[in-house]
């Protein structure tokens, strides 16, 4: 609690589960891509209270850190200090290991991606010209820029052939936002600043864009600072969340679990809001909870052997996988009664599988919608990982609650260095 040294690494990092974007990695290589604000203050002339008051914040490399707060909490100001669209009055800002205040601001900004609400695309330039702006400023030649533009359009799920030559007004809001993200990624910057990027699109598109961002992040592992006032968006996207109060005071800085299950004060609790019993469903991912193990079988397996495996596991059914380990069907012991030879096409088709990055809420919805008590879970390239049932969800929620209970008040705080390291400076001195 008293340790405010910014050098302290943010807690012991648990080994990230494979196929999950939600790790709190602070390995050496990643730290060099991180962003650090140390005692940063911004005072506007003629205003008594500083807009940003001695804020210290460490954003670990390769993570999404969400700045969450009501309007007027200075979250956008705090973000703009990082790329020096706003010059700090005092303090130190380190971006990817370099002192940001010692660099030429335009040069600094070319190496930090910037995405704003409504995408901010230049209407008089084609999609390709918009995306190619930063590479061209960095003196890439035409051919390399064009190749990069196509690559980025593919990356954000837009067909280069169809979209390259279009103008922004010919795109939907969601497509514009995708182009905005592509433009920010153009020169492959280590860090990305996103200022309420999905604030102005409809809820369905927003959900879609959030999922795309998470998928991109699995691949790219950028250091992302994301500003929003939407708690659900913060819980969904953030590896960590910084809840800001007045003067950019950091009320709490922690993982979504910590914010929801162990709010630092009444302000955070009010912000986290109601429905706390079901909220964990919305940010916890299927890949993060223990899945149910079910016997596996291939279409070529002998029916008797599979029957035996089902009996031994006591599950009453097995899952049939193809050569790429993609789930095909459920195979119940009744299906196999008196059958000899390979199991072949027997069994009943399984539901559309869940992905490890889906939330528990999506899992619950799927379970309620389909006419079965279990849904297969797949990871990268659709490979089977395990099975989710209602009991799996219940158990996961119970465990989460228990963890929070043991962690509650002071006993937990001293252990929980990950959170206190960076909040101490912000909370105690204001």
By beta-carbon proximity to other proteins, the closer residue of 66 and 134 is: 134
Residue 140 found at the interface with other proteins (CB under 8 A): no
Residue 66 found at the interface with other proteins (CB under 8 A): no
Q: Decide if 372 contacts 294 (C-beta within 8 A).
A: no
Q: CA-CA distance, 127 to 321, in Å (whole number)? A: 42
Name which position in 29, 123, 274, 314 contacts other proteins (CB under 8 A): 123
Q: Write out the two tokens for 275.
A: 């429905």
Site for other proteins in 184-243 (CB under 8 A): 184, 193
Residue 412 found at the interface with other proteins (CB under 8 A): no
Residue 120 found at the interface with other proteins (CB under 8 A): yes
Name which position in 56, 58, 126, 392 contacts other proteins (CB under 8 A): 126
CA torsion 266-272-277-279 (nearest 10°) is -170
By beta-carbon proximity to other proteins, the closer residue of 197 and 280 is: 197
Q: CA-CA distance, 412 to 321, in Å (whole number)? A: 43
Closest C-alpha to 51, from 300, 244, 335: 244
Residue 428 found at the interface with other proteins (CB under 8 A): no
Q: How far is the CB of 110 from other proteins (least distance, A)?
A: 3
Q: CA-CA distance, 334 to 338, in Å (whole number)? A: 9
Mask: binding to other proteins, 170-189, rule CB under 8 A, as x and -? -------------xx-----
- Indicate the helix (H) or strand (E) that contains 324: none
| Span of 22-30, 110-118, 257-265, 307-315 interacting with other proteins by CB under 8 A | 110-118
Q: Write out the two tokens for 97.
A: 């290991």
Q: How far is the CB of 77 from other proteins (least distance, A)?
A: 13
* Residue 44 Cα distances to 50, 68, 70, 152, 341, angstroms: 7, 22, 20, 39, 80
By beta-carbon proximity to other proteins, the closer residue of 11 and 199 is: 199
Q: Decide if 24 contacts 34 (C-beta within 8 A).
A: no
Residue 328 found at the interface with other proteins (CB under 8 A): no
DSSP conformation letters of 302-320: BHHHHHHHHHHHTSSEEEE
Total residues in contact with other proteins, by rule CB under 8 A: 28
Residue 117 found at the interface with other proteins (CB under 8 A): yes
Helix axes 142-155, 173-185, angle to 10 degrees: 130
Q: CA-CA distance, 93 to 385, in Å (whole number)? A: 42
Name which position in 22, 33, 36, 110 contacts other proteins (CB under 8 A): 110
Q: How far is the CB of 117 from other proteins (least distance, A)?
A: 8
Residue 83 found at the interface with other proteins (CB under 8 A): yes
Binding site for other proteins (CB under 8 A): 83, 85, 106-111, 113-114, 116-118, 120, 122-126, 133-134, 137, 167-169, 183-184, 193
């Amino acid at each position: 609690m008293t340790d405010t040294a910014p050098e302290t690494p943010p807690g012991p990092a648990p080994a990230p589960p494979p196929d999950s974007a939600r790790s709190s990695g602070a390995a050496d290589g990643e730290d060099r891509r991180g962003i650090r604000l140390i005692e940063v203050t911004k005072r506007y002339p003629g205003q008594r209270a500083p807009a940003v008051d001695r804020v210290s914040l460490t954003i670990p490399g390769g993570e999404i850190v969400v700045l969450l707060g009501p309007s007027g909490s200075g979250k956008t100001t705090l973000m703009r200090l990082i790329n020096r669209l706003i010059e700090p009055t005092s303090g130190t800002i380190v971006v990817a290991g370099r002192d940001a205040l010692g660099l030429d601001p335009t040069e600094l900004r070319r190496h930090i991606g910037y995405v704003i609400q409504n995408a901010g695309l230049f209407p008089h330039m084609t999609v390709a010209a918009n995306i190619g702006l930063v590479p061209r400023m960095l003196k890439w030649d035409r051919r390399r820029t064009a190749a990069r533009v196509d690559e980025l359009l593919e990356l954000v799920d837009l067909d280069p052939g169809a979209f390259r030559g279009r103008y922004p007004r010919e795109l939907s809001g969601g497509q514009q936002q995708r182009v905005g993200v592509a433009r920010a990624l153009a020169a492959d910057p280590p860090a990305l600043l996103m200022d309420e990027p999905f604030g102005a699109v409809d809820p369905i598109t927003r959900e879609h864009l959030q999922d795309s961002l998470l998928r991109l992040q699995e691949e790219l592992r950028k250091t992302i600072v994301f500003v929003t006032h939407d708690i659900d968006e913060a819980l969904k996207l953030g590896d960590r969340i910084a809840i800001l109060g007045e003067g950019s005071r950091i009320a709490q800085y922690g993982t979504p679990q910590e914010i929801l299950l162990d709010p630092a004060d009444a302000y955070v609790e009010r912000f986290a809001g109601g429905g706390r019993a079901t909220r964990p469903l919305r940010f916890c991912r299927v890949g993060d909870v223990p899945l149910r193990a079910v016997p596996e079988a291939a279409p070529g397996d002998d029916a008797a052997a599979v029957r035996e495996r089902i009996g031994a596991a006591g599950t009453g059914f097995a899952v049939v996988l193809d050569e790429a380990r993609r789930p095909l069907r459920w195979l119940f012991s009744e299906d196999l009664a008196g059958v000899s030879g390979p199991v072949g096409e027997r069994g009943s088709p399984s539901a559309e599988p869940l992905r490890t990055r889906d939330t528990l809420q999506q899992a619950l919805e799927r379970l309620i919608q389909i006419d079965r008590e279990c849904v297969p879970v797949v990871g990268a390239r659709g490979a089977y990982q395990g099975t989710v049932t209602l009991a799996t969800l219940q158990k996961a929620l119970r465990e989460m609650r228990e963890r929070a209970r043991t962690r509650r008040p002071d006993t937990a705080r001293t252990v929980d260095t990950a959170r206190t390291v960076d909040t101490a400076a912000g909370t105690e001195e204001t």
